[in-house]
Amino acid sequence: MIRNGRGAAGGAEQPGPGGRRAVRVWCDGCYDMVHYGHSNQLRQARAMGDYLIVGVHTDEEIAKHKGPPVFTQEERYKMVQAIKWVDEVVPAAPYVTTLETLDKYNCDFCVHGNDITLTVDGRDTYEEVKQAGRYRECKRTQGVSTTDLVGRMLLVTKAHHSSQEMSSEYREYADSFGKCPGGRNPWTGVSQFLQTSQKIIQFASGKEPQPGETVIYVAGAFDLFHIGHVDFLEKVHRLAERPYIIAGLHFDQEVNHYKGKNYPIMNLHERTLSVLACRYVSEVVIGAPYAVTAELLSHFKEPKRRGIFRQIDSGSNLTTDLIVQRIITNRLEYEARNQKKEAKELAFLEAARQQAAQPLGERDGDF
């Protein structure tokens, strides 16, 4: 069990408004390749109560029910722990959510997005808590999913970013990978996410630097926001007693200029939300210049003195390139994972359709 508290420094659980008992909320999932869609789900869940506990499944459980995860369980635990709306992380949470689990952690109800989550044998993982009335639903973030991001990375291959003609084998692969039940490919290598000012407001803290806080500026692509970024920002956060970290995010064109190929995998708007969701970051500069100038620092009221640059080693060797390499190396396994997931969803929807079509007396449980 990993407790976060409400902020980077941690803290104890607080009572609810008016001194009432705090409403404890449970979420669980794989949280593989944690992205702003996961963060938005947890933000919505946290808003439904006072204390959010997030259960994260093991590699073994995910491989059994869905296929191989991209990140290890330890990486996934730490990524979820870094999301600012999470109060506590429960490692090795069971894949099927039961009343026993909710009661064990004194949770009033669990929250999940409005998409289908099935076991290896095609059963709804939330069936028990739904029947007991201890299930709440939040809106799924359109335009992103782990499957979508895997697809974008699989298309970052020599055949995809080269001007040369694709081989017929690769073209067939690129056209067929991850098609949804309607036969439409949910990605084309271009994000379908539409940014809104409201979404930024929901993710942003809205707090300005306070007297006594140390303003620290960092900048980069922060593409596919991952454990290497989290480790880096956590170390930066430790540089001061009261840090106020501003993260500058480079424009897509700038990132592509110094990274090449099809980078960035996530566009600027997506990267903005991913970084804003991190508990160590106070503010984001959208489209920060590549060169850090005195004018930029003075904009944030940083003293104009020399010797203020520090280089921080995150201690992690994980990079966006390595994540892409993981995906490409195991592309056939991830393709099989995606097809397995789609087949289960289709079977579940067909069973539900047939159940609804039966006369009332013939339905399961109607005796």
Residue 56 lies in a domain: yes
- pLDDT average, residue stretch 240-262: 93
> Is 152 a residue whose pLDDT tops 70?
yes
**Do the domain assignments include residue 95?**
yes
Q: How far apart are CA 367 and CA 361, in angstroms?
A: 7
Q: What is the average pLDDT score of the chain?
A: 79
In angstroms, the CA 310 to CA 292 distance is: 13
Residues 213 and 130 in one domain: no
Cβ(271)–Cβ(225) under 8 Å?
yes
**pLDDT of amino acid 200:** 84
Kindly indicate the confidence band of residue 362, based on its pLDDT and cuts at 50, 70 and 90: low
Q: To which H or E segment does residue 248 belong?
A: strand 243-249
SS (H, E, C) 170-217: HHHHHHHCCCCCCCCCCCCCCCCCCCCHHHHHHHCCCCCCCCCCEEEE
Both structure tokens of 200: 């930024």
Q: Is the pLDDT of residue 108 over 90?
A: yes
CB 48 within 8 A of CB 24: no
- Mean per-residue pLDDT, 249-263: 91
* Cβ atoms of 140 and 37 closer than 8 Å: yes
Contact 218, 230 (CB under 8 A): no
Q: How confident is the model at residue 156 (pLDDT cuts 50, 70, 90)?
A: low
- Is residue 121 situated within a structural domain? yes
Q: How far is the C-alpha of 343 from the C-alpha of 65, rounded, in Å? A: 12
Tell me, yes or no, whether 129 and 212 share the same domain: no
Residue recorded with tokens 């990274």: 259
Mean pLDDT of 233-254: 96
Do the beta carbons of residue 336 and residue 67 sit within 8 Å? yes
Domain-embedded: residue 173: no
Residue 297 lies in a domain: yes
Least Cα distance to 31 among 87, 105, 90 occurs for: 90
204, 124: one domain: no
pLDDT at 340: 66
What's the confidence (pLDDT) of residue 83? 98
Q: Do 41 and 121 have their domain in common?
A: yes
Last residue of a domain, one of 288, 303, 318: 318
More reliable by pLDDT, 250 or 301: 250
Domain end, chosen from 104, 135, 166, is at 135
DSSP 8-state secondary structure symbol assigned to residue 304: -
Q: Is there a contact between 139 and 246 (Cβ–Cβ < 8 Å)?
A: no
Over the stretch 36-81, which tens digit does the pLDDT of each residue have?
A: 999 999 999 999 999 999 999 999 999 888 888 889 999 999 999 9
Same domain as 227, residue 130: no
Backbone phi, psi, residue 307, to 5°: 80, 25
Of 135, 163, 180, the one marking the end of a domain is: 135
Q: Does residue 242 fall inside a structural domain?
A: yes
Output DSSP code: residue 318.
Answer: -
Do 121 and 224 lie in one domain? The reply is no
pLDDT at 164: 42
Q: Identity (one letter) of the amino acid at 17?
A: P
C-alpha of 147 from chain center: 12
Predicted pLDDT at 57: 97
Q: Which pLDDT value is given to residue 345?
A: 63
| Longest Cα separation, the chain | 81
Burial class of residue 356 in the structure, from the number of CB atoms within 10 Å of its CB (0-12 exposed, 13-18 middle, 19+ buried): exposed
CA distance 46 to 52: 6
- The pLDDT tens digits for 284-332 are 999 999 887 766 666 655 544 445 667 777 888 889 989 988 887 777 7
**Alpha helices, H only, the chain:** 36-47, 59-65, 73-81, 99-104, 127-131, 146-154, 158-161, 168-176, 197-203, 227-237, 252-259, 268-276, 294-299, 320-329, 331-357
pLDDT at 96: 93
Residue 2's pLDDT is what?
52
- Closest CA relative to residue 324, chosen from 159, 160, 153, 123: 153
- Higher pLDDT: 276 or 168? It is 276
The reply to whether 96 falls in a domain is: yes
pLDDT recorded at residue 237? 97
pLDDT attached to residue 189: 42
In a shared domain, residues 201 and 297: yes
Residue 28's domain spans which residues? 22-135
Q: Exposed, middle or buried, 170 (CB in 10 Å: 0-12/13-18/19+)? A: middle
CATH number at residue 309: 3.40.50.620
Provide mean pLDDT across the span 211-228: 95
Q: Which whole number is the average pLDDT over 153-174?
A: 46
- Residue 223 tokens read as 């593409």
Classify residue 167: in a domain, yes or no.
Answer: no
Average pLDDT over residues 171-188: 38
Residues 6+ apart with CB under 8 A from 301: 209, 215
Report how many domains make up the chain. Answer: 2
Retrieve residue 160's tokens.
């995809």
